[in-house]
Every structure is written in C-alpha cells, then in structure tokens.
Amino acid sequence: MFKRNLAKFNHAMGFQRSCCWQKVRPDSDLSTKERAPNEIVSEDANYSSWMVDHPSALTSFDHMMKDAKGKKIVVFLDYDGTLSPIVNNPDRAFMSDEMRAAVKEVAKYFPTAIISGRSRDKVKGFVQLNNIYYAGSHGMDIMAPPRPVRSSDGNYLTVSLDRKGNDVVFQPAQKFLPAIQKISKELEEAIMKIPGARVENNRFCVSVHFRQVREEDYRTLEEKVKSILKHYPDFRLDWGKKVMEIRPSIEWDKGNALEYLLDTLGLGNCTDVLPVYIGDDRTDEDAFKVIQKRGQGYPIVVTSSPKDTKASYSLYDPLEVLTFLSRLARWRKSSSSSRSISQVWGVSS
Ligand SMILES: O=P(O)(O)OC[C@H]1O[C@H](O[C@H]2O[C@H](CO)[C@@H](O)[C@H](O)[C@H]2O)[C@H](O)[C@@H](O)[C@@H]1O
C-alpha cells in the first residue's frame, strides 16, 4: 500500500527519472487470465522507468497544450476504468458527479465522444450527457453527426437517421445481431451454475465476466465459452479486464470508430486535428494505433502499472483523468475567451 501511494505520489509529481524507489512491483490486480494472451505486461518493470517513455499527461500538460495551440482538439474517452473505477458489479460502474461535470465542461469546448465496449444505451445511461457522441459495442454502434461517409472501396456506408432525424446511427455489424442474441442466450444457460460468472449483452458483442469467479472455476468457464463459440466461426474471443469478450470477426474496432467520428465531424482529412484519446483497456490500443499512424494527437493510457502500449502519455487512474479533463476545459476556456464549441469549430454540440 505504501509503495502504491508512493508510486502515485511520484507519478502525480512527475518524478519520472529521479525516483527514489526502484524495485516496485506493479500494484495491478491483473492476474494472468485477466490479460489478453498477446498482451505483454512486465511484472518486474518499474513504473518510474516505464514513465520515461509514457510520461504523465498531467506533468506534460503545458507542453502538450503548447503544441495544440491553434489546432482542433477532439476528445475521445473510454468508459470503464477511465471515467469510472473498475468495480465488481458491472451494473454499478457509476461515474462520479465530478467526472460528469468535467466531461460536460470539456464537451462545451471540444467535440467529445465516448467509445465503449458497453452497449450504446447502457453507456449513455451511465454518462447521462447530451452534448457528446456515443459509440457502443467497441465502436460497432455509433451515433454521429449526419454526414455521409465513404468506405475505403468508395461505397457509402449504411447509416440511418435517428428518431429526431438529427444524428445518424452507424452499425457495421448489423447482420450479426440474431447470432449475437443466440450466443448470449446460450452463454447465460451454460454459465448459470458457475458462481460469480455473469453474461452482459452489449448489443453487438457479449461480455462474460469472471471478476467474481473462484480461481478453480475459471478453467470450466473458459471451456464452456469456447465450446459454444466453436459453433460460431464468424465470432472471435478476446480478453479484457477479468472479462471475456465475444464479438463478430469484422475489421472494425475502436480505431475505426475514432476515424469514422472524425470523418463525420468533417475533420478526417484536416492536418491540424489533434485527437486526444484516453483509455485503459486492450481494445483502446486500436485507437492509440490510429492516432500514432496519423502522426498527430495524444493517445493517453490509464494505468497504475507498466504495460505494453502504443500510448504516448499516461494517467494513473480515473481520478487523474478527472484532473486532466478539468485542466483541458480550463485551458480552452481561458484561451478562447469562453467561446463555445460551435463558435470554436462550427460544429453543433
Ligand atoms: O470499453 P470499456 O468502456 O472500457 O468497456 C470494457 C468492458 O468494461 C466493463 O467491464 C469492466 O468494468 C467492470 C465494471 O468496473 C468490471 O466489473 C469488469 O471486470 C471489467 O472488465 C463492461 O462491463 C464490459 O461489458 C466491457 O466490455
């Protein structure tokens, strides 16, 4: 506990190079099964030395904003583990009122989207804000401004207007819905007898949670999930934080969702756009990669332990995310003399 607090203190203070402790094990509760098989997490690596390559977005804030001057910042946020702390019961992963106020404030000044593994409705229910865009199911269910978007083969992608005719809903995995519902039902039945296991239907993907499953039951759970998936070759299985995630094997992830949203905002081809993406999970790496490829923007990972990541910056936990978002809004407020988002970018909020 002492070491964790010291790490947090050092992190917050920006003591990245001259730290007084060196042999600290990451405080993460990541067990081997919590990680994706291909995720390399160095248990022995030192958080401080890791931060040399992934400096705190708080201590780097002034430097980042100096580069951002005159550019168009677009904010992308993951939900679980980023805006809300990780908790045992996924239905109770509420965000704090302070976090909600910070996101609301940020969205006043920058186009802001939440890209989550949850269903779009569920994440919107948690966030309860109207001035942001929501992408659920790891980006496979996007509510975006009504601007037609072309895919790489030149065809217009399938979109439909929402009930008010304002925003468009883009759902590239529509045709998989019946199969997903079947999978979800089969999983429910199969895991019923495993204490602590739970299935969460996220509309275009399904989560099987094992945070509260006993160690000795994990193998059985995994086998059950895999044996169901054998009958669904169009689906793939990934691991998140104590969760197995089943989703259609289509080439669409949070990175594509980020690009899609930039396109619909009319910013896809702008050279002066700076996407800021904050996320804590393996699926967020897809968005980090896109930002790295664009060559502009700030991929920020939320983590309390060293991890292999494409992010350039880090934040320790949702509390630091809150501080970062508040500073971002304050920075814009002071530098734009309180101009609102529509005045700044000409986009509707
Ligand atoms: O993309 P995200 O918004 O980060 O969603 C990823 C998964 O997050 C949720 O599960 C995680 O958070 C839960 C609540 O803190 C925790 O109990 C669980 O162990 C974590 O894996 C969500 O419930 C999943 O459906 C999402 O896929």
Q: How far apart are CA 75 and CA 149, in angstroms?
A: 20
The ipTM estimated for the assembled molecules is 0.99
pLDDT beyond 80 at 8: no
CA atoms of 24 and 12, how far apart (whole Å): 17
Q: Which residue has the higher pLDDT, 75 or 2?
A: 75
With residue 220 as reference, give the H or E element that holds it.
Answer: helix 215-229
- The pLDDT value recorded for residue 86 is 98
Place of tokens 């908790």: 87
The ligand 1 atom at the shortest distance from the C-alpha of residue 92 is 14
Q: Can you point out the beta strands (E) in 165-205?
A: 168-170, 198-201
Out of 115-119, 162-166, 223-227, 230-234, pick the least confident: 162-166
- 273-313: per-residue pLDDT in tens? 999 999 999 999 999 999 999 999 999 999 999 999 999 99
Instruction: Identify the CA nearest to 219 among candidates 199, 189, 197.
Output: 197
**Top-confidence residue, 70 or 94:** 94
143, 166 contact by CB (below 8 A): no
* Residue-level pLDDT at 336: 66
For the chain, give the number of residues. 349
231: pLDDT strictly greater than 50: yes
> How confident is the model over 39-83, as pLDDT tens digits?
344 445 589 899 999 999 999 999 999 999 889 999 999 999 999
Looking at residue 269, its pLDDT comes to: 86
For residues 260-268, give the mean pLDDT. Answer: 90
| 13 CA from centroid of ligand 1 (Å) | 29
The yes-or-no verdict on residue 155 having pLDDT over 80 is: no
Q: What is the mean pLDDT of residues 144-172?
A: 65
Q: Assign 242 to helix, strand or coil.
A: coil
Ligand 1 pocket residues where CB is under 6 Å: 78-81, 86-88, 90, 93, 116-118, 200, 202, 207, 209, 211, 240-243, 245, 281, 283
CA gyration radius, the chain: 20
Q: What is the pLDDT of residue 342?
A: 55
Looking at the chain, the whole-number percentage of residues with pLDDT higher than 90 is: 70
Which of ligand 1's atoms lies nearest the C-alpha of 89? 17
Q: What is the mean pLDDT of residues 87-93?
A: 98
Give the number of the atom of ligand 1 that is nearest the alpha carbon of residue 243: 21
Amino acid letter, 70:
G
Q: pTM of the full predicted structure?
A: 0.85
User: Would the pLDDT of 162 be above 90?
Assistant: no
Predicted confidence at residue 154, as pLDDT, reads 53
Backbone angles phi, psi at 76, to 5 degrees: -120, 130
Query: Facing residues of 80 across strands?
Result: 84
**What is the C-alpha separation between 25 and 70, in angstroms, rounded?**
41
Q: State mean pLDDT over 225-253.
A: 97
Predicted local confidence at residue 111, as pLDDT: 95
Tell me what the pLDDT averaged over the chain comes to.
85
- In this structure, which residue's CA is closest to atom 13 in ligand 1? 90
